Structure formats: structure tokens, C-alpha cells
């Protein structure tokens, strides 16, 4: 079986000491179709080198909504444009709105989100979207700037997932579906059309095990939970998610 990880930070410094081993483990497990999120120079250089070596890996570049504390000048958007022209990423992201961790930079976040959606439309690229406690504004901005892509680490309601799908977005679920108390994501998954579903780790972040560094290999456990919730065979789920992954990058 081939597994997808629709959102991971494989270029992160947290893998600098053993990246080769992490990749060996994930490839052996069948995790081949992955999106590497690169926000920042270090991650970009590592990510670009990985994509060169493993052509099934996709590269996403963007300005993270949590990274607008000190510098929110428009020159950062010009820099992103240069990165797009030099590195030809497959996707823009992650970008979006995070009112949970950074409520004080709301206005800057909205501006950078809308601007990155415009860049994505201009270059015909899909978008990897981060939205936390900001679904109403996220949806409004998506409607104003039509694009396509995925909503990463989804934890919202069934209704909101339908509105995102109506705008053409895939819904990507992470390890939070594995928490014993996670009723809401399970409810959303049980009503999800298979052709709009994606799965991700967000590694090295969002590990379900306290103190453990998350790895793309761990995505298999999220697949297991989701196939149980949907009550479908693991193979059927894996095939559908991989089809969705490839459809996401069709021009
Ligand atoms: Zn992320």
C-alpha cells in the first residue's frame, strides 16, 4: 500500500541529525506521497534537496500565519515570489489564519493570507491552509480569492467541512482523530465523502504521544483509526487518499 502524508515538515531542524533514517523508515513503511511544508530558508533548502532525490515528494512554500510578529512588510511577499520562481514549489503553504495562538496579528495574517492566495492563483498552484479558531474569516477570504487545495489538520464542524469542500478544498486529518475523547473529528470523518479526504502527520509536531517527535511513518496509525471510523478496508482508504493526493496536483 502507498500512504500519503499531506502535511509534514521534513526539512525541519528537528530532523537534522537523522533525516536519512527518518526517510528510510517512512519509505519502508510505504509512506511515499508526501507534501513537505517549507516556511523559512533552512527548511526550504532541505526540502528542495529531498524532492530532487525523491520525485514523489512535493514541495510547499509559504509564510506561516504564526510568523508575522516582527516582520510583516510586503517585501516578504516579494521574497516568496522569488522563491516560487527559483524553486518551482508544487504548492503554496502553509498559509492561513491562526487566531488561537496569535490573535494580536489578525490584520497582518489576513493580508498575508489573501496575498498568498493571489500568488497561488497566479502560478496555478494549490494551497495548504492552516486555520485555527478562524474558520469564518478563512472561508470568507477563500471565497474572495478562488483557489484549490487542502485544509490542514482539520478540527472543525461537519457544516464547515461541507462549506470548504463546496469551495473546492480537500479536508486533511491529523493525529487528533486518534485521541480517545475526539468526538468531533470522528463525526466529520464518518460523514466525509472519500474523494475529498486527505491524511497527514504535521510532523515533527502534533504527535499523539507526549514527548515523542512525530514522523511521517506514524501516519499509518492515523490511517488505521480513520478506516475503522469509516468502516472501510484499509486498502480502499489508502487507494482513495492516494487518488486525491494526485488529483490535488493536476493542473
Ligand atoms: Zn504545519
The values of phi and psi at residue 149, to 5°, are 150, -150
Percent of the chain with pLDDT over 90: 94
Q: How confident is the model at residue 182 (pLDDT cuts 50, 70, 90)?
A: confident
pLDDT at 184: 86
Q: Backbone dihedral region of 149: left (phi > 0), alpha (psi from -120 to 50 degrees) or beta?
A: left
Average pLDDT in the chain: 96
pLDDT at 138: 98
pLDDT at 110: 97
| Domain residue ranges in the chain | 3-248
User: Is the pLDDT score of 183 beyond 90?
Assistant: no
- Cα of 8 vs centre of ligand 1, distance in Å, is 6
User: Is the pLDDT score of 245 beyond 80?
Assistant: yes
* CA distances in angstroms from 33 to 29, 136, 205, 221, 241, listed in the order given: 12, 31, 19, 16, 10
Question: Would you say the pTM of this structure is higher than 0.85?
Answer: yes
- Cα of 108 vs centre of ligand 1, distance in Å, is 19
- Which stretches does DSSP call E strand in 134-241? 149-151, 169-173, 197-199
- Cα of 203 vs centre of ligand 1, distance in Å, is 7
Distance CA 120, CA 60 (A): 11
User: Is the pLDDT score of 251 beyond 80?
Assistant: no
Mean pLDDT check: name the lowest of 73-82, 95-104, 128-137, 182-191: 182-191
- Cα of 172 vs centre of ligand 1, distance in Å, is 12
Contacts of 112 by beta carbon, 8 Å cutoff, 6+ apart: 63, 65, 68, 72, 76, 77, 95
Q: How confident is the model at residue 210 (pLDDT cuts 50, 70, 90)?
A: confident
Distance CA 89, CA 125 (A): 8
Nearest Cα neighbor of 247 from 139, 185, 134, 168 is 168
Residues pairing with 93 in the sheet: 128
- Cα of 95 vs centre of ligand 1, distance in Å, is 9
Mean pLDDT score, 147-174: 97
pLDDT at 44: 98
Whether cis (ω within 30° of 0) applies to the bond prior to 94 is yes
- Cα of 175 vs centre of ligand 1, distance in Å, is 13
pLDDT at 202: 97
User: Is the pLDDT score of 37 beyond 80?
Assistant: yes
Mean pLDDT score, 19-33: 98
Mean pLDDT score, 221-248: 97
Distance CA 52, CA 159 (A): 40
Q: How confident is the model at residue 26 (pLDDT cuts 50, 70, 90)?
A: very high
Q: Which CATH superfamily is domain 3-248 in?
A: Metal-dependent hydrolases (3.20.20.140)
- Which tens digits make up the pLDDT trace of 55-73? 999 999 999 999 999 999 9
Amino acid at each position: 500500500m502507498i500512504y500519503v502524508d499531506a502535511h509534514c515538515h521534513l526539512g525541519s531542524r528537528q530532523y537534522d541529525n537523522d533525516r536519512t533514517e527518518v526517510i528510510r523508515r517512512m519509505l519502508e513503511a510505504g509512506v511515499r506521497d508526501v507534501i513537505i511544508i517549507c516556511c523559512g530558508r533552512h527548511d526550504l533548502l532541505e526540502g528542495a534537496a529531498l524532492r530532487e532525490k525523491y520525485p514523489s515528494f512535493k514541495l510547499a512554500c509559504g509564510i506561516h500565519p504564526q510568523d508575522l510578529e516582527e516582520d510583516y512588510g510586503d517585501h516578504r511577499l516579494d521574497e516568496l515570489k522569488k522563491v516560487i520562481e527559483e524553486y518551482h514549489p508544487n504548492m503554496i503553504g502553509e498559509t492561513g489564519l491562526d487566531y488561537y495562538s496569535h490573535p494580536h496579528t489578525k490584520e497582518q495574517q489576513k493580508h498575508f493570507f489573501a496575498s498568498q492566495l493571489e500568488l497561488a492563483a497566479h502560478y496555478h498552484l494549490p494551497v495548504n491552509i492552516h486555520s485555527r479558531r478562524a474558520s469564518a474569516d478563512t472561508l470568507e477570504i477563500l471565497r474572495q480569492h478562488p483557489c484549490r487545495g487542502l485544509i490542514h489538520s482539520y478540527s472543525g464542524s461537519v457544516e464547515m467541512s461541507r462549506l470548504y469542500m463546496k469551495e473546492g478544498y480537500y479536508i486533511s486529518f491529523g493525529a487528533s482523530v486518534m485521541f480517545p475523547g475526539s468526538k468531533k473529528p470522528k463525526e466529520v470523518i464518518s460523514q466525509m465523502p472519500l474523494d475529498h479526504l486527505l491524511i497527514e502527520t504535521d510532523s515533527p509536531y502534533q504527535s499523539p504521544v507526549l514527548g515523542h517527535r512525530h514522523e511521517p511513518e506514524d501516519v499509518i496509525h492515523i490511517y488505521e483509526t480513520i478506516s475503522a471510523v469509516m468502516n472501510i478496508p484499509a486498502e480502499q482508504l489508502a487507494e482513495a487518499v492516494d487518488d486525491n493526493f494526485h488529483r490535488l496536483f493536476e493542473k
